[in-house]
Structure 1
Amino acid sequence: MKVIKIYLSCLLLSMALLNLSCSQEINSKTNIPKESSSAKTRIALAVSDLSIGTHRLAFGIIEPGIGPIKNDEIKLETFFLQDENNPLLKETLVAEFQKWPVGNKGVYTSMATFDRAGKWGIGITYETPNGLIERASTVIDVAEKSLAPFVGDKAYPSRNITNAITNNLYELTTDPTPYSPFYEYSIEKTITERMSSLILFASPAFCTTGTCGPQIDIIKNLHSDFSKEVVFIHVEIYENPADITGDISNASVVQAVKDWNLPSEPWVFLVDEDGIVRQRFEGLATYQEIKSALTQNNFITGK
């Protein structure tokens, strides 16, 4: 049966470094900006679906002999590579470190805008634990259009399976501690009935990135705080999760994942009462990141 393809080659490479979601480990380049003496610094991208528009960039930094860099914030520059010898500086930003709720891991995030498709460069400047200023860079591909629904797009009215179909939650999710409020509504129903929703696509037990379990726990905490204002939905990635029995080759992807054309997992989408995607998060997003987006888009009152 068909199994979801989640950029396996990039995933296997990065998991050994940061346990990042769909990461790419790329050696630092020498063109944007010029390298410091530490030429082996690695930028591990935690997002893959980049297109024209404003995106949440998420990445880790690996310093040889030191490991992951976890400063509070770093300088981030983006460049359009009209040619490698003449990169065009587009933005100078601050990327903040987002500590994950488990272990001693995390990623840097910043909202970056790409105004055209093609090759782009990311340049970072940061201070190492021993006080040195280091620089590194990498190249990314920006597409004309995202694979998954983008901010401003109409959400697809998927008919994901709910507890109206079965009372056995283990038929709806691979979460070892299923949370029944996540399975009360289909995406179609929230759109039809004009309800704001938070939709999580993830497979807690079979997540190849190792971040789906922590993500669903974060969403449970958000539900506890904001369930009166937002409908929370979890869509399992695979059909018949109870039948997989540890062998992912027996799995097939649910229709909702196909509807939304998701290239990776986990994903979180915020959909307003008009059925419009107002924010999206590829890879693990922290409680505070999602809460801030809920507040900024008037899903919650900001308590």
Structure 2
Amino acid sequence: MIRKLIFTTISLLLLTTGCAAQSSELEAEARLFAEPLPNEVPVHDHDDHSHEHVDESAATAVMQVVILPSELAVGQNRMAVGLLDANDQMIAEADVHFHYFDLTDPAAPELEQEADAQQVQSPDGLTTIFTQERSFDRAGEWGLEVQAQLASGETAVQRIKFNVAAESTSLLPGEKAPRIQTPTLADVAGDFSLITSSWEPNPALYQLSLDEALGNGKPTVLLLATPAFCQTRFCGPAYETISALAEQVGDAVNVLHVEVYAGLPDPSQTDWQLAPVMDAFGLSTEPWVYVMDGEGTIVYRAEGVFTLDEITAHWQ
């Protein structure tokens, strides 16, 4: 568990502190790709814009790609990458396009899918990532080519390999959420310090236990985060997003927050033991948000940075 937390922490911190040491590693992986496939159709028309493919040989900007999910598995996933420039600084503004390659035969990469990426920014504006929802139907090695049109007018292309697991260690969209009891404000006689590490707790997030929420026929949004003890720095912004959501939707949707660690107000006293809900979802990193429909089926999940729009789009 500690190893996975550290891995995810390092990946996310790269977006704000840079990763000079990783540059040569990423470049080495890119060289393992074959030459870019020829583009028979150079322009793709979308609803509101056209995407022009970038010729890798003509790309003028240096770019590093960091793949952020702690796990990608067969089934529905949220691909997310962070982009760094030649000075190891986060790229915050860009039009980004993904090309996915099937690397079943590494010597002959096959272009399997392409899609525009969505720009997602943390509420504090300090971190920007680029995401796309997609399903993988095969375990094994895959390749991602990231094409970016930068705000400066320059273009950049980078390729990186990643692995897709045959089975996820955590619950995926399409599976039923576990009907597990989680602590409520009533359980602790109104003492917020026993159920949340948030500095400004929102009472609306602690009115229902998860099993109660999943049984009342309404959509449910569950945030698993620990603002005061976060291994990344995204639990606080995630809490702000979920708190704003609760105010926006009122009683129409169940919105809950559950802490990652047991033993509040001081998890160190229980040796940083994970809360039962983390084990029930198969998680060992944070923060995570899960969205369930009125029947308790998981319809969406996101790790790290996410937006209100991403969440609300999945219970309509």
TM superposition score normalised by structure 2: 0.83
1:29-178 equivalence runs, <5 A = 29-30=30-31, 31=33, 34=36, 36=57, 41-65=63-87, 67-166=89-188, 167-178=190-201
Could you tell me which residue of structure 1 aligns to residue 51 of structure 2? Answer: none
Higher gyration radius (CA): 2
What corresponds to 1:301 in structure 2? none
1:174 is paired with a residue whose SS is coil
CA distance in 1, matches of 2:307, 2:17: 15
Contact 1:75/1:92 (8 A) holds in 2 = yes
TM superposition shift of 1:127: 2.5
TM-aligned CA deviation for residue 77 of structure 1: 0.5
Which segment drifts farther, 190-199 or 172-181?
190-199
Partners of 1:223 and 1:14 lie apart in 2 by 26
| Paired residues of 1:73 and 1:108 also in contact (CA < 8 A) | no
Greater share of residues in helix: 2
Identical counterparts, % of pairs: 25
Q: How many residues align?
A: 288
Which of 190, 199, 214 pairs up with 1:191?
A: 214
Rounded Cα–Cα distance in structure 1 between residues aligned with 2:288 and 2:259: 11
Structure 1's consecutive aligned runs of 4 or more residues displaced over 4 angstroms after TM superposition are 32-40
Q: 2:238 aligns with which of 204, 209, 215?
A: 215
Q: Work out the CA distance in 2 between the residues paired with 1:248 and 1:5.
A: 20
- Mark the CA change 1:129 to 1:233 in structure 2 (over 3 Å): closer, same or farther: closer
Report SS of the residue matched to 2:156: strand
Alpha-carbon distance change, 196 to 237 in structure 1, aligned in 2, over 3 angstroms: same
Work out the CA distance in 2 between the residues paired with 1:111 and 1:145. 18
User: Residue 8 of structure 1 aligns to a residue in which SS?
Assistant: helix
Displacement after TM superposition at 1:162 (Å): 1.3
Q: Which residue of 2 aligns with 1:232?
A: 255
Once residues 190 and 266 of structure 1 are traced to their aligned partners in structure 2, the CA distance between those partners, rounded to angstroms, is 20
CA shift at 1:99, angstroms? 2.0
Unmatched tracts of structure 2, length 5 or more: 37-55
Q: Distance in 1 between matches of 2:236 and 2:124?
A: 10
Deviation, structure 1 residue 196 = 2.0
Q: Give the alignment's Cα RMSD to 1 decimal.
A: 2.5
Instruction: Describe the SS at the equivalent of 1:27.
Output: helix
**Aligned partner of 2:168: which letter?**
S
Deviates more, 1:68-77 or 1:4-13: 4-13
The SS at the match of 2:15 is: coil
Partner Cα separation in structure 2 for residue 136 and residue 249 of structure 1? 44
- State the one-letter code of the partner of 1:189: E
AA in 2 matched with 1:226 = V
Instruction: Please report how far the alpha carbon of residue 46 of structure 1 lies from its aligned counterpart in structure 2 after TM superposition.
Output: 2.1
Q: Which runs of 5+ in 1 are unaligned?
A: 299-303
Contact 2:174 2:298 in 1 (8 A): yes
Determine if contact 2:8/2:285 at 8 Å carries over to the other structure: no
Alpha-carbon distance, 1:14 to partner: 4.4
Write the deviation string for residues 80-113 of structure 1: whole angstroms up to 9, x where unpaired: 1112211121111101211221033211111222
